[in-house]
Structure formats: structure tokens, C-alpha cells
Amino acid sequence: MTTDAAAPAALLTRLRAVLGDGGVQVDPDVTSGYSRDMMPLAPFGAPFAVVFPETTEQVQQVVGACAQHGVPIVPRGAGSGLSGAANAIDGCVVLVTTRMNRILEVDPDNRLAVVEPGVVNLDLRTAVEKHGLFYPPDPSSYDWCTIGGNLSTNAGGLCCVKYGVTTDSVLGLEVVLADGELLRTGRRTVKGVAGYDLTKLFVGSEGTLGVITRATLALRPLPQAPGTLVAAFSAVGAAGAAVSRVVRAGLVPSLMEIMDSVSIAAVEAHLKTELGAGKGAAALLICQSDSGGEAARAELAAIEQICGDAGAELVHTTFDPAEGGMLLAARRAVLMALEVYGAWLTDDVCVPRTRITELIEACERISAEVGLRVAVVGHAGDGNMHPTIVYDPTSEDEFARARRAFDDILAAGVALGGTVTGEHGIGKVKREWLAREIGPVGVRAHQAIKLALDPAGLFNPGSMFALEPS
């Protein structure tokens, strides 16, 4: 194994002493694979080293060594992020938490689990199901993304409408701070209001304040197998009206997703099946209820009535798990389906639920203006939309137009009273947009917190906002 002669040999020696040769990689052919996440727009650099700690104590020692040598640290999970939050900068140490992958405890009586950050989301869900329990956050990459990354970006998923985002399932954390000390936040109890809510401060901080090494997570009783409803609309406005009426009626399905015509066509071609939308469908709503028994039937019946009244061309409800699973698999397959047309660039904007129609219409306009395909899918139940731009990655012109579309979609979302991210985070691709959204006072507050916890700017510099001490 070789490294750049200019690299700090003393740091490399110390890292290897802590982690062993197998826990430290400096070969550029290896480290380049850990230099970026899934967001093609975000800048990234060449790390000095990539390290793979297996314990909290090793993380503390790595942080201490990097601090001594003034080398920044970029924490990273599986790399499934879509904001550049895990992207390396030149000369940094990328700290990968995937080897810290133990489920330390499942406590069925108190409905909680204690896990390390490298646990895969789906593995945790599978493990707690054996105890009749349920971990709700389910990002689309749930079969390979890790809990640490979910915590750092405050990830969401398809079930947010009923169960909330990641922070709503977090009771407490262990976090290694910039001085190497271990901070314990939160509690194991259902209630607790002692002191500042430091747990929520670190959830969503994108590795800019510390390295999460352990999490205590709240679990829920395992829901019953859901019933599924699909409704096809010939006009996007009708689908938007149905969403608004479901919310106004006080109905809270466990899932309510929307697909536009571009997404429907792509998925039907990819899966070689029909989703029941019929020809010319402008939008498709997919809803599920996991309330069980008559409660689920009543909930879906009420949604069916609302969709019909709003102008749905077709409404179908099923309690067959296989059929419902097929419909949900179709929703999850959108990004894969779009790959046949080219590379994809997924945006993440959240608008008031009453303005979903306007956002989809804005995306149609932007698609025409830039001359690129834009498919819109999203979590209709909470207004979090994921417009996805398809482009030719070998064309500089198309990449530039995709970047323009990405920003134009964010601008449209903000103009509709929305936010520039509902679940993907800010990372290194939306720094300017965060500043616009929260304003100068908000930026100064962020900087003050960063300086208090990480005065040397050790953790993930350049992510979320610029550290500019006054």
C-alpha cells in the first residue's frame, strides 16, 4: 500500500496503530470509491485516507489524531445520500461507519432498540419484526442505506405521512465530539425534557457537529398487513384536490404517494405491466392503510369516495398483499425505470399539500424550457416531491440544462411556500439555497452552533453552510 509522499506520515502511522492496516486505505483506486455520494451535482475531492473504525473508542482516537494534525473528517455511511453531504474534500479523512453494524439491544417491553450507525435500515426492520415491532423510517434506499446516514440527514421515506421522519423515532444518541469526548444525549424513557434537546440538534446535522456512534431508537407495534388503493386521474389538478380532501377529512393513511404521467409510463415500460392507470392518465395516487381489519377498510373506503368525487377515472382497492406489494414496488422502481432514458438527477422539495398540483405543473413547464424529461414522484401525504431530471451524462450541454432545471425546481418550490429539502438534506449542493431560505440571522445561528461544538471546523467542512467566524 502506498500513499502520497506529501501526506502526513505521522497521522497515517497513528491511524494504522488504532485501526490496523485493514482499517486504513490510502490507495487512490480504493479511496476514490468513497469520495462522493449519489448526487452528481455536488463537488467532491480526493481524500488523504479512508478509515473503517469498528468501535466508539476507535472513532474517538481517529478524531483525536485528526484534530492533532489539523486534518478534516468527513463521516460517511453507505453513500446512498443525494445531497453531497458525504462528499470528500481534498486531503480529508473519510470516516466510514459501515463496520459498526451491530444491533446491540432490542427491548420489546420498552419498545426500543440500541444500534450502531452501520446497521442497514432493512436489517433493523427485519430484526425487530421478530419481536412484533416496527421501525418506521423507510427511505427508498432502505435495503442498503445505514441508520447513521439516516440520522445524519434526518431521512424520511414513504411512511412519513403517518409515522414522521427519522428524528421522530430517535430517543437518544452517543456522539463523538471534535475534542474526542463522547457526548450522550436523550434518554430511554418515553418522556423527558431535561435540558436542551441535543438529540434533535445532531439528527440532521449531516456530520458537521460530530460522529454518531450509537442510537437509541423508538419502535412501534408491528402494523397489520396493509390494504392498498390506487386511483388514476386524467388531470393532475384532480389528484391534487383528492390529496387536499383526504387531509381535510382527517384521514391519515400509512402511505400516500403520487406519480405523474412521465413516471407512470417509465415504470410500466420497465416492469412490462400496466398499473391500471389506463391510457392518458396524468397522475396516479397510491395509498395504504395499515390500521387493520374494519378500520383499514373504512379508511380506504373513505379515500376511495374522495378520489371518485375529485374526478378519478379509476379507483381500485385491494387487500391482497401480493397485489399491494406490486403497486408499491412500482412506486419504488421509478428511478430504476428512468435509467433507460439516461442518467437521473433527483430533486427534493417540499410544498404545502394544497400546492402539489402547482409544483407538478411548474415541473412540466421547466421540462419544456430546458428540453429534458422531468418525472415527478413524491410523498403526497406530506407534500415532499422528488422531481427527477433525466439527461445524457456524456453531454456537457445536457448536464448544464439539468443543473438549471434542478435550481428552477427549487425556486418554484420556494415560491409556493415550500422548503428546499424535505428529507435529502442540504449537503454541498444546496448551501446557497439554505442561506436564502433561513436568512442571514439563521445562518449566523448555525455558524454559532458549529463554532461552539467544532471551533476548528474539523467535521465535514463545506457542508450545509460556510464556517465564517466573525
Domain count, the chain: 3
Chain segment 262-292, per-residue pLDDT in tens: 999 999 999 888 776 556 789 999 999 999 8
Residue 470: what pLDDT?
A: 39
pLDDT greater than 90 at residue 140: no
CATH code: domain of residue 182: 3.30.465.10
Are 155 and 79 within one domain?
no
Chain segment 305-351, per-residue pLDDT in tens: 999 999 999 999 999 999 999 888 888 899 899 999 999 999 999 99
Are 111 and 91 within one domain?
no
Confidence of residue 469 (pLDDT cuts 50, 70, 90): very low
Chain segment 349-406, per-residue pLDDT in tens: 999 999 999 999 999 999 999 999 999 999 999 999 999 999 999 999 999 999 999 9
Residue 61: what pLDDT?
A: 98
Are 366 and 314 within one domain?
yes
Residue 80: what pLDDT?
A: 93
Are 236 and 209 within one domain?
no
Are 109 and 86 within one domain?
no
Asked which of 96, 114, 139 is the last residue of a domain, the reply is 96
Full residue range of the structural domain in which residue 384 is found: 227-415
CATH code: domain of residue 61: 3.30.43.10
Are 170 and 198 within one domain?
yes
Residue 275: what pLDDT?
A: 74
Chain segment 19-48, per-residue pLDDT in tens: 999 999 999 999 999 999 999 999 999 999
Residue 64: what pLDDT?
A: 96
Mean pLDDT of 112-116: 98
Q: How would you write the chain as a 3-class SS string?
A: CCCCCCCCHHHHHHHHHHHCHHHEECCHHHHHHHCCCCCCCCCCCCCCEEECCCCHHHHHHHHHHHHHHCCCEEEECCCCCCCCCCCCCCCCEEEECCCCCCEEEEECCCCEEEECCCCEHHHHHHHHHCCCEECCCCCCCCCCCEHHHHHHHCCCCCCHHHHCCHHHHEEEEEEECCCCCEEEEECCCCCCCCCCCHHHHHCCCCCCCCEEEEEEEECEECCCCCEEEEEEECCHHHHHHHHHHHHHCCCCCCEEEEEEHHHHHHHHHHHCCCCCCCCCCCEEEEEEECCCHHHHHHHHHHHHHHHHHHCCCEEEEECCHHHHHHHHHHHHCHHHHHCCCCEEEECCEECCHHHHHHHHHHHHHHHHHHCCCEEEEEECCCCEEEEEEEECCCCHHHHHHHHHHHHHHHHHHHHCCCECCCCCCCCCCCHHHHHHHHHHHHHHHHHHHHHHHCCCCCECCCCCCCCCCC
Asked which of 221, 253, 283 is the last residue of a domain, the reply is 221
Residue 157: what pLDDT?
A: 86
